[in-house]
DNA sequence: CCATATTGGTAAGCTACACTGACCATTATA
DNA sequence: TATAATGGTCAGTGTAGCTTACCAATATGG
């Protein structure tokens, strides 16, 4: 059983779960995007990862990407447009549907995606060193479990 | 030892630690602020918590609050100003320093703070039910440990 | 004790990232 | 085949931050 009074103290001291999650997220994010800028991708910001995270070699439609990233298609459209301007993506009409367009990575975009994955992994490694491999593994497992359960709940409640 | 290949798969699938942290943060945040609006505080948004989280009965200066929330004093100043307009805070000259002002909670602000703490605690309870008390306790402990260590690192590296 | 540096705070303007509402063209369906 | 649903765009809005520049009051070192 978790020590409820201790949690309460923490809440009083402003250490909500949310604030800590947010802070850890920011730490990772700043690490990754700071280094990304130093690695030849100075025009890429966190928002761009919502595309890069999900885009596979097959390409995808803006609508699909938007759904995966849980943002509106207008927002996703703007992000994609920006990445096209910078040469990371290209988009061509989808042969199987006259309304749709297929978004794919250019070689430059593939390099970016690879670098982003690498830097994310390195950032996690730093965190693992700070709290210990064991606890890092625990944290990751916990989050993955929750995320997957959350996906279930959404599919169900929809 | 954490299963590195599994982590790598997850990274490929876009499940970075960061994206999961962010998502859980959003879930909590939407829960709390959605309900807060239904509880008679429709004008309070997540940003406001950066003040409310740290402000004690003694009051505090904008500069102090800004440092605690890790935002600029201009940003904090705007947030405080907004909360004053809505009757949650008041600010008076600090008798001990002619430059400074002391920000304190009005009774209305105290009610808000209490409600916010309650809702945060309830939101965490929901999460605890979803992943299990044990794992919730683990997650919280992990995050608190990292947060405190991070505080250390900052104090040291500064 | 006074010149200079530091500190608390404000003002103005900008950027990043997301949203809503309205709309068009194409495809699916009753 | 008329209507609904889907993929996408355009224009406008809002939120939460930031930077640069500045003022007034306090601290500090010679």
- pLDDT at residue B3, as a whole number: 62
pLDDT at B155 over 80: no
Which chain A residues are within 8 Å of B24, Cβ to Cβ?
21, 143, 146-147
Residues B41/B44/B49/B53 CA torsion (nearest 10 deg)? -30
Protein-proximal nucleotides of chain C (any atom < 7 Å from a CB): 7-13, 16-22, 25-28
Indicate the residue of A7, A130, A153 with minimum beta-carbon distance to B146. Answer: A130
Task: Give tens-digit pLDDT for B6-39.
Answer: 776 776 677 899 999 999 999 999 999 999 999 9
Cβ contact A136–B12 (<8 Å): no
Could you tell me whether strands B101-105 and A89-93 are parallel, antiparallel, or unpaired per DSSP bridges?
unpaired
pLDDT in tens, A25-57: 999 999 999 999 999 999 999 999 999 999 999
Burial B35-62 (b: 16+ CB within 10 A, else e): ebeeeebeebeeebbbbbbbbeeebbbb
Task: Give the residue-averaged pLDDT of B89-116.
Answer: 97
Residues A59-80: tens digit of each pLDDT: 999 999 999 999 999 999 999 9
Indicate the pLDDT class of residue A11, thresholds 50, 70 and 90.
low
């Amino acid at each position: 059983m978790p020590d409820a009074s201790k949690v309460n103290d923490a809440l009083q001291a402003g250490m909500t779960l949310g604030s800590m999650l947010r802070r850890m997220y920011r730490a990772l994010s700043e690490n990754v995007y700071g280094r990304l800028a130093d690695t030849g991708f100075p025009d890429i910001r966190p928002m761009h990862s919502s595309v890069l995270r999900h885009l596979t070699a097959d390409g995808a439609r803006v609508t699909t990407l938007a759904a995966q990233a849980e943002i509106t298609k207008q927002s996703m459209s703007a992000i994609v447009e920006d990445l096209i301007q910078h040469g990371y993506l290209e988009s061509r009409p989808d042969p199987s549907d006259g309304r749709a367009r297929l978004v794919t990575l250019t070689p430059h975009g593939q390099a970016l995606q690879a670098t982003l994955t690498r830097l994310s992994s390195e950032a996690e490694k730093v965190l693992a060193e700070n709290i210990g491999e064991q606890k890092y593994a625990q944290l990751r497992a916990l989050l993955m479990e929750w995320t997957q359960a959350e996906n279930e709940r959404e599919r169900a409640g929809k």
